[in-house]
Structure 1
């Protein structure tokens, strides 16, 4: 029997010591070098479950504003407002209680209920389901971040590598598979609106989406739990040391992580990720329907999905070694998209441009896909690496700021010109680039000081 004293925190100087606890060294599991294949399979299983669930959800969210502009924007704004609340007050406690696997499943269940509400499509059904979905989504995405981080750490350790060495590739694989949902979901909507006429098209589409969402829910129910034995020991100590822990303390963990200098630098990046996603799924799709027709929303977003999926995998593989180059590529892609939208909507004629040069729509969708892949993969990788000792508060904070960015765009609705909203998103992009430069500069100085 030996006496083990453990600490937690991001900085050695500020680490909080845990009470001394007796452990039997024989009970501390050794890392088994088995290639990590089971953890890669778990990642792919999770990714495919998300792919199914979000083929339905993203296909739906991309056309909400094209079916009813006011209900669509209001539903999305309510959803992300509830997401903010859930990220701060619900997700960390829920995951601590249920674990990442069951939190993912229960969060996905809320997505299926939202699909059922779309069969009615009226405000009295959509708004309550949006609240429930926002709360469920806050749990689901924080749990997803925790699950992928654990799977990546287990995979790396089982291959005899540092625990954080596979974070980028695992995030890239997840989002590569996940973003394929944009291809399938949007092609389904495009072809249904192309070949089915009248109100029957919308009802047919939402019945198909409900079936796909249900299949994803079954898939996630069968997901195997992912745990890190060494991390479980640490979490057990934390639980024993804080037996009087309350929801308020867990909320304070999310609030307290904002005092970390690294998180303060990350906030513009997290916020921009929400801004650009709200702009693409809300304004870009609504503008496409206005300038062309509803089926072209599906086809253009399918192009977005293909490019996004490929770019996510490439970004995940390259981001650990070439982080600044990857971010530069995403910045150029989104910079082109935003500059084009600002110029044409402020000084040109978008409708005439689309009518004469339809290929422009697909070029813009591709640029949106490249940029979104980078600005989604990068913060997920950084959070998993920088806050590996505080996974749940870290990912809850990330989704809190993502949802705030979404809400900022969506509450503006169709009351603000598109070029003005694009200008706001462009300002967020510039701040994010500055944040990346500062983050990498501090990391370089830290490495130099240790030499």
Structure 2
């Protein structure tokens, strides 16, 4: 393992409010091979971890349907995540460093996998709270670690820093997105088809939570305990392997920033700045509906489409195959649209996402799913993934572009409102029928379209006014 003191950075406040990176040339640097090795280790660790979690999350509302255990556990994760985002990342990373924050935070995911062996509210809710509290430090540590490696590698190779950082994150997400494929493939290969029901199930928009336990479609959801334990065991093993990979093979890096007294305090500083930014920025207020929709639409595809359409009609053993199609489309479009946006701007892509998701939601209201038309499920999942790719990549880019000088508070708002969308959607999952949920999705989407149009209009007006002011005589 590389010496943890091989390379150091001084992070000093600059007059522009950002941080100046001062390299100490007299100290040995982490070599290029070690940097690339660490990028690979982080990417591989997260791939194993989210092979387990993403697929288990897709199964929650179908597998743990009794008393709404699955839906409530997912809602609890995102409520805990909101709290964690505001208080814990800086505090934990400052004490443990990026390297050890990552495997420690993974323990929450491991406990969540363990809880699924005995999926009752007591075990699942407790594990979900622990997972949610650890999720924010996990992702913050990963982002900090990869960013720091990018800075070092750019210095060593005399390349553009932003370009190297984007390259490292692109490599990471290439691995991360593949977790949807491996995890869903595992569940579909392990679960087995049941005998055909004589009773025709009520699936699609007319599906209600009670239908999954009323007897007419239970065989489409239920699996033998041995099959469930096999899937849980594989996912648990995958999460444990992730923690071992990071603990053993990831090198520790030391940042002077981590040792600051302010970061070691468990203070509400970020919480205060988050709400100060919210109420001082009209554009941030107008972005709230679209940010909430980001959570709502992800929760719908993972909690309602999987249950009311896929599992109900095709059986839980086909759920993984359909969600693989969603994940692949999402990954490909994320990469493709991320490149094309530089040439045609983000407005056409937002229009594409709004039209695609709106059309799908209207179609879902009237579509009567049939197991004789499996291709429709795959096409629907792929189209939803295409829309999700736009929403995820472009909202992040929009926040970064508009609030580049207040990035920390702005992205805290992003995490807050998106997590709220997740939490609320999973909270009502077990109480409303699918058609009602679709109307809610359409309502939030409509509000998003209106508010996003107002954002673009304000940005255009502000830009035009600035241009007029800069021209003499105007």
* TM-score category, normalised to shorter length: 0.7 to 0.9
Report SS of the residue matched to 1:356: coil
Q: Deviations over 1:103-122 (max 9, x none)?
A: 22222121011101111112
1:380–1:28 CA distance, 2 compared to 1 (3 A)? farther
The match for 2:211 is none
The answer on 1:290 being equivalent to 2:309 is no
The match for 1:58 is 54
User: How many angstroms does 1:161 deviate by?
Assistant: 5.3
1:426–1:149 CA distance, 2 compared to 1 (3 A)? farther
1:333-352 pair list within 5 angstroms: 333=353, 335-345=355-365, 348-351=366-369
> Any stretches of 5+ residues in structure 1 without a counterpart?
none
Give me the whole-angstrom Cα distance separating, in 2, the residues matched to 1:439 and 1:49: 42
1:183–1:419 CA distance, 2 compared to 1 (3 A)? same
TM-score of the aligned structures, taking structure 2 as reference length: 0.76
Q: Deviations over 1:385-409 (max 9, x none)?
A: 6667776655544322221110121
The answer on 1:401 being equivalent to 2:401 is no
Report SS of the residue matched to 2:123: helix
Report SS of the residue matched to 2:251: coil
The RMSD of aligned alpha carbons is 4.0
- For these two proteins, the number of residue pairs brought into alignment is 424
Q: Deviations over 1:362-398 (max 9, x none)?
A: 0111112222223223344455666677766555443
2:116/2:232 contact within 8 Å kept: yes
The match for 1:111 is 109
The match for 1:46 is 42
1:285/1:297 contact within 8 Å kept: yes
Report SS of the residue matched to 2:118: coil
Report SS of the residue matched to 1:415: coil
User: How many angstroms does 1:218 deviate by?
Assistant: 1.5
1:243–1:164 CA distance, 2 compared to 1 (3 A)? closer
Question: Which of residues 211, 215, 224 is equivalent to 2:237?
Answer: 211
User: How many angstroms does 1:411 deviate by?
Assistant: 1.3
2:299/2:426 contact within 8 Å kept: yes
1:33–1:310 CA distance, 2 compared to 1 (3 A)? farther
Give the structure with higher Rg (CA): 2
The answer on 1:277 being equivalent to 2:303 is no
The answer on 1:422 being equivalent to 2:445 is no
2:81/2:133 contact within 8 Å kept: yes
The match for 2:332 is 310
Q: Deviations over 1:228-272 (max 9, x none)?
A: xxxx56x48x936x5996513344344444356475565444333
1:145–1:243 CA distance, 2 compared to 1 (3 A)? closer
2:323/2:381 contact within 8 Å kept: yes
User: How many angstroms does 1:307 deviate by?
Assistant: 1.6
The match for 2:76 is 78
1:299–1:313 CA distance, 2 compared to 1 (3 A)? same
1:263–1:414 CA distance, 2 compared to 1 (3 A)? same
Q: Deviations over 1:32-71 (max 9, x none)?
A: 9999775555434322211110111111111111123211
Report SS of the residue matched to 1:377: helix
The match for 1:301 is 323
Give me the whole-angstrom Cα distance separating, in 2, the residues matched to 1:439 and 1:150: 35
Report SS of the residue matched to 1:350: coil
Deviates more, 1:437-446 or 1:393-402: 437-446
Give me the whole-angstrom Cα distance separating, in 2, the residues matched to 1:152 and 1:381: 19
Q: Deviations over 1:299-322 (max 9, x none)?
A: 101111222222233344444x24
The match for 2:390 is 374
Give me the whole-angstrom Cα distance separating, in 2, the residues matched to 1:254 and 1:412: 27
The match for 2:453 is 434
> Any stretches of 5+ residues in structure 2 without a counterpart?
1-10, 195-222
Give me the whole-angstrom Cα distance separating, in 2, the residues matched to 1:147 and 1:267: 29
Give me the whole-angstrom Cα distance separating, in 1, the residues matched to 2:330 and 2:288: 23
User: How many angstroms does 1:85 deviate by?
Assistant: 1.4
Deviates more, 1:367-376 or 1:128-137: 367-376
The answer on 1:360 being equivalent to 2:373 is no
